């Protein structure tokens, strides 16, 4: 990525000027060293409040260019609220503060008109339930065409060709016939492929996918996730994947960020974090879901079938002081109640825990910051 100022990247229309074509981007690979990938999106001190309660408080998270990053955590952790707030798509009752920079361009507080140009063109979004996201009374080809028309001034013929090309890219069968169908005439998996075609229509730099397969049959789920991996590799597109599934995260994402009660507990390369968790919450989440890692090397280290996390996730506003997980943590110490843990970065992984799991190897390159 070339180093240009945000002002230079932001053209007269408010679009971010591409510093490289998608073909110039390095393709994502789980083995690529993290330092090569510059951050595409930098999230700092992101706080999302609903009413008087903080739902999300993320101090630091980067989405590197061309990499796949997973946001994982139990139901109610704040994954969706966090992801939607990146583009100011959170519920109206929510307030967002902090900084979200896309290639240096600040998105928080950006006027809606300008942000609308970035939504869909620079950052695409795929939601959990395609049935409710698609317009039921508009043919699917037209819906893909609308996404193109919103951001590009091209002829109808060119757009029609691109619609067919996109439908092929997302592996929809017989695009010429299918484009004339309404959403209810398609299967759930086909509808999600249409949603993905809409989301990638303008070749975004980042795709946010909020549990894109959870509303689908098990067989179709794997196909949709494979499709996202292929598209992000082919287009050098970053992916922010929200998931509940550790196995999916481990096999398809370069990096993972573990969220609990809106707090970022641990982040780093997914195989480092999932294979040797340091935060007690990450450790508990893995022990509670051995089935998700049944086919991975981690399974060998899980000597018991199931070890549920004690208690239940509290509702918003009911989390304890200090570390939000401490009430359910079997390793909690006195300081866990008093203040936020120090954030420690050891090599490529960062975690915020007063009593972390011991390191498998002697720690090197340790940095500490106040929680």
Ligand X SMILES: Nc1ncnc2c1ncn2[C@@H]1O[C@H](COP(=O)(O)OP(=O)(O)OP(=O)(O)O)[C@@H](O)[C@H]1O
93 forms part of the interface with ligand X (CB under 6 A): yes
Q: Which residues contact 106 (CB under 8 A, 6 or more apart)?
A: 6, 99, 100
Decide: residue 176, CB within 10 A, 0-12 exposed, 13-18 middle, 19+ buried.
Answer: exposed
206 forms part of the interface with ligand X (CB under 6 A): no
Of 80 and 343, the one with the shorter C-beta distance to ligand X is 80
CB of 212 to ligand X, least distance (A): 12
Q: Where does the chain have alpha helices with state H?
A: 6-9, 79-85, 112-118, 130-133, 140-151, 156-169, 175-178, 188-200, 218-235, 246-252, 270-275, 280-288, 335-338
Among 69, 209, 316, 353, binds ligand X (CB under 6 A): 316
Among 59, 79, 193, 205, binds ligand X (CB under 6 A): 79
What residues from 97 to 136 belong to the interface with ligand X (CB under 6 A)? none
* Cα gap 289→197, rounded to integer Å: 32
Among 16, 58, 72, 81, binds ligand X (CB under 6 A): 81
Q: Is the dihedral of CA 125, 126, 129, 135 positive or negative?
A: positive
CB of 258 to ligand X, least distance (A): 11
Of 80 and 276, the one with the shorter C-beta distance to ligand X is 80
Among 76, 104, 320, 335, binds ligand X (CB under 6 A): 76
CB of 69 to ligand X, least distance (A): 15
Buried-exposed string 255-274: b where 16+ CB fall within 10 A, e elsewhere: bbbbbbbbbbbbbbbbbbbb
**CA distances for 91 relative to 67, 209, 234, 323, angstroms:** 28, 17, 33, 26
75 forms part of the interface with ligand X (CB under 6 A): yes
Among 39, 66, 73, 183, binds ligand X (CB under 6 A): 73
What residues from 44 to 63 belong to the interface with ligand X (CB under 6 A)? 50, 55
342 CB neighbour count, 10 Å cutoff: 14
Among 91, 173, 297, 310, binds ligand X (CB under 6 A): 91
212 forms part of the interface with ligand X (CB under 6 A): no
Closest CA to 237 of 30, 28, 85: 28
312 forms part of the interface with ligand X (CB under 6 A): no
- Pull the structure tokens for residue 332: 């909690």
Of 204 and 261, the one with the shorter C-beta distance to ligand X is 261
How many residues at the interface with ligand X, by CB under 6 A?
A: 14
Which stretch in 75-83, 171-179, 282-290, 357-365 sits in contact with ligand X by CB under 6 A?
75-83
Of 71 and 196, the one with the shorter C-beta distance to ligand X is 71
Q: Largest alpha-carbon pair distance within the chain?
A: 67
Which stretch in 73-81, 151-159, 165-173, 347-355 sits in contact with ligand X by CB under 6 A?
73-81
Which stretch in 30-38, 76-84, 162-170, 329-337 sits in contact with ligand X by CB under 6 A?
76-84
* Cα gap 80→364, rounded to integer Å: 34
Of 212 and 236, the one with the shorter C-beta distance to ligand X is 212
Q: Which residues bind ligand X (CB under 6 A)?
A: 50, 55, 73, 75-81, 91, 93, 315-316
């Amino acid at each position: 990525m070339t180093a240009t100022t945000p002002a230079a990247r932001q053209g007269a229309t408010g679009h971010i000027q591409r510093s490289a074509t998608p073909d110039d981007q390095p393709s994502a690979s789980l083995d690529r060293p993290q330092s090569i990938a510059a951050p595409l999106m930098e999230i700092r001190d992101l706080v999302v409040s609903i009413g008087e309660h903080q739902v999300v408080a993320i101090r630091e998270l980067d989405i590197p260019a061309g990499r796949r990053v997973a946001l994982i955590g139990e139901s109610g952790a704040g994954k969706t609220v966090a992801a939607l707030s990146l583009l100011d798509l959170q519920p109206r009752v929510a307030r967002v503060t902090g900084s979200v920079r896309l290639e240096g361009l600040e998105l928080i507080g950006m006027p809606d008109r300008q942000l609308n140009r970035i939504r869909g063109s620079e950052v695409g979004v795929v939601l959990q339930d395609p049935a409710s996201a698609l317009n039921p009374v508009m043919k699917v080809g037209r819906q893909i065409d609308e996404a193109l028309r919103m951001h590009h001034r091209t002829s109808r013929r060119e757009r029609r060709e691109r619609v067919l090309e996109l439908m092929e890219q997302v592996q929809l069968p017989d695009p010429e016939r299918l484009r004339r169908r309404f959403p209810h005439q398609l299967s759930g998996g086909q509808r999600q492929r249409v949603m993905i075609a809409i989301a990638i229509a303008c070749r975004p730099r980042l795709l946010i996918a909020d549990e894109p397969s959870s509303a689908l049959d098990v067989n179709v789920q794997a196909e949709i996730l494979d499709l996202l991996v292929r598209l992000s590799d082919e287009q050098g597109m970053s992916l922010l994947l929200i998931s509940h599934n550790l196995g999916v995260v481990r096999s398809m994402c370069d990096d993972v960020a573990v969220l609990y009660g809106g707090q970022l507990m641990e982040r780093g390369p997914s195989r480092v974090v999932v294979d040797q968790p340091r935060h007690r919450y990450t450790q508990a989440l893995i022990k509670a879901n051995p089935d998700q890692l049944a086919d991975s090397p981690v399974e060998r280290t899980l000597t018991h079938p199931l070890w549920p996390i004690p208690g239940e996730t509290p509702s918003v506003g009911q989390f304890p002081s200090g570390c939000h997980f401490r009430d359910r943590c079997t390793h909690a110490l006195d300081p866990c109640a008093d203040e936020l843990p120090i954030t420690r970065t050891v090599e490529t992984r960062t975690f915020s825990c007063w009593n972390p799991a011991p390191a498998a190897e002697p720690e090197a390159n340790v940095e500490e910051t106040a929680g």
